[in-house]
Amino acid sequence: MGLAFEIGPLKFVLAPYSGGLPELVYNPYSWTKMANILLLDSPVGSGFSFARDPKGYYVGDYSSSSQVQTFLNKWFTDHPQYLSNPFYIGGDSYAGKVIPLIAQGISEGIDMRQQPVINLKASY
């Protein structure tokens, strides 16, 4: 959630806790003003993601990156209007170990002309 509230269209009002719900305000510096952003919780079990079967929580870096690639292929198949947009993939914290695997998988898919062809530009 941190990344969503750091670069997204909303941010928390920083104030001492009063016992109620946190207050959100518009972020005039949001990255969403100039880009479409898709935020994923990965691996399964992090953030708001979950598995219906407890075995789904036993993932490593390679299986997690494969799951993200599968998701991206399905997402771009369902939303082809975004295929021509430059695609940048990034993450924070532990994602720095998994992002290169995802980018490599996308790049290999491009080389093998797999559909959909994701317009990968860079990974961070």
Domain ranges of the chain: 1-36, 38-123
SS (H, E, C) the chain: CHHHHHHCCEEECCCCCCCCCCCEEECCCCHHHCCCCCCCCCCCCCCCCCCCCHHHHCCCHHHHHHHHHHHHHHHHHHCHHHCCCCEEECCCCCHHHHHHHHHHHHHHHHHCCCCCCCCEEEEC
The whole-number pLDDT of residue 72 equals 97
pLDDT < 50 positions in the chain: none
**Tens-digit pLDDT profile for residues 87-109:** 999 988 888 899 999 999 999 99
Look up the pTM and report it: 0.80
Residue recorded with tokens 């299986």? 63
The whole-number pLDDT of residue 3 equals 67
